[in-house]
């Protein structure tokens, strides 16, 4: 088995190739929009969501090497769809009328390069493309196409992903007034929901049994929430240098966070509880979930 860093690099390349294949070329007319779409999709993402989806598919028996097995190819296409949908949310969240960010991962954001109008349209086009990609998979036995379209629309819709962004937008500068239930809702809808769908899509692509799919759902949900709580803790406790971004940024923006609402000690206990729950969920897969476990460790074993 490849060591994790090499495995992640190899999978990132695989996902990038799939994204290049699924996106219209930069010369497709009108060129501006297709350039903008590719600019944002290839702005240095680690592709964690698609990589988790592929590992979930393998935990359910999909095999990359087996040509006759459509499970892996489906999981790869679905991973690209999720990543493309994720990219659209970043472009729109960065807009001046939203979080107003000029840089992301060190690069100028889409609207800084192409202007706000094109950035809005590039986001719209990526969201639309995500559904086009889903429409082209060959649905596995247990899960008809409607299941995939419905889940992507539900996760990306006004009750989850977009709903979380609404609360985030409305909550800025009134951090202390947000209730624990609202904070949980923001975390669930902004981080955990799409991560869970990415992982579930991998399992569904590989025709997961209902028991396997349930385990992947618990895993994804716990992983997503744990990741977010740990992020919140590190924003308070770490120096900017170690964090690679401005520490204390959440507090300065008046954003509600776990430590702000519950204190550090309780937040750490919650992170540990969620981490344990994510690991437990994988037990039904035995050794076939080795990679999923490794990736979870990589994401969660931080010094919090």
**Which positions lie near its own copies, rule CB under 8 A?**
24, 28-30, 32-34, 37, 88, 92, 95, 97-98, 115-118, 120-121, 123-125, 127-129, 131-132, 134-136, 144-146, 149-150, 152-154, 156-159, 162-163, 165-167, 169-170
104 close to 94: Cβ distance less than 8 angstroms: yes
Q: Report the nearest approach of its own copies to the CB of residue 214 (Å).
A: 22
Q: Are strands 107-108 and 103-104 parallel, antiparallel or unpaired?
A: antiparallel
Q: What's the CA gap between 182 and 188, in Å, rounded?
A: 10
- How far is C-alpha 38 from the chain's CA centre? 18
Q: Report the nearest approach of its own copies to the CB of residue 26 (Å).
A: 11
- Closer to its own copies by CB, 9 or 159: give it: 159
Q: What's the CA gap between 240 and 295, in Å, rounded?
A: 24
Nearest to 222 by CA among 258, 241, 196: 196
> 């992640």: which residue's tokens?
8
- Closer to its own copies by CB, 182 or 217: give it: 182
- Closer to its own copies by CB, 152 or 198: give it: 152
CA angle 205, 206, 208 (to 5 degrees): 105
Q: Report the nearest approach of its own copies to the CB of residue 175 (Å).
A: 17
Q: Report the nearest approach of its own copies to the CB of residue 244 (Å).
A: 27
- Closer to its own copies by CB, 110 or 247: give it: 110
Q: Report the nearest approach of its own copies to the CB of residue 172 (Å).
A: 10
Work out the burial of residue 170: count CB atoms within 10 Å of its CB; fewer than 13 is exposed, 13-18 middle, 19 or more buried.
Answer: exposed
- Closer to its own copies by CB, 73 or 234: give it: 73
């Amino acid at each position: 088995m490849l060591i994790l860093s090499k495995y992640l690099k190899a999978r990132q390349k695989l996902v990038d190739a799939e994204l290049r294949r699924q996106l219209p070329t930069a010369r497709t007319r009108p060129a501006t929009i297709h350039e903008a779409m590719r600019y944002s999709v290839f702005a240095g993402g680690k592709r964690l969501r698609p990589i988790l989806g592929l590992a979930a598919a393998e935990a359910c028996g999909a095999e990359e090497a087996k040509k006759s097995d459509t499970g892996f190819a489906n999981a790869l296409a679905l991973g690209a769809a999720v990543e493309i949908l994720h990219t659209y949310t970043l472009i729109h969240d960065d807009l001046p009328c939203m979080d107003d960010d000029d840089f992301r991962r060190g690069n100028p954001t889409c609207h800084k390069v192409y202007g706000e109008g094109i950035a809005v349209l590039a986001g719209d086009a990526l969201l639309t493309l995500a559904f086009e990609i889903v429409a082209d998979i060959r649905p596995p036995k247990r899960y008809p196409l409607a299941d995939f379209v419905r889940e992507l629309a539900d996760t990306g819709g006004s009750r989850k992903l977009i709903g979380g962004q609404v609360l985030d937008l409305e909550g800025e500068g009134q951090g202390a007034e947000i209730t624990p239930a609202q904070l949980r809702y923001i975390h669930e809808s902004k981080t955990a929901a799409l991560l869970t769908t990415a992982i579930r899509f991998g399992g569904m692509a590989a025709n997961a049994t209902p028991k396997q799919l349930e385990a992947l759902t618990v895993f994804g949900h716990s992983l997503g929430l744990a990741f977010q709580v740990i992020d919140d803790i590190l924003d308070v406790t770490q120096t900017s240098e170690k964090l690679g971004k401005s520490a204390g940024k959440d507090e300065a923006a008046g954003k509600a966070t776990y430590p702000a609402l519950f204190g550090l000690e309780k937040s750490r206990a919650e992170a540990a509880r969620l981490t344990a729950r994510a690991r437990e969920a994988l037990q039904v897969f035995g050794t076939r979930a080795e990679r999923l476990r490794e990736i979870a460790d990589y994401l969660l074993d931080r010094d919090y």
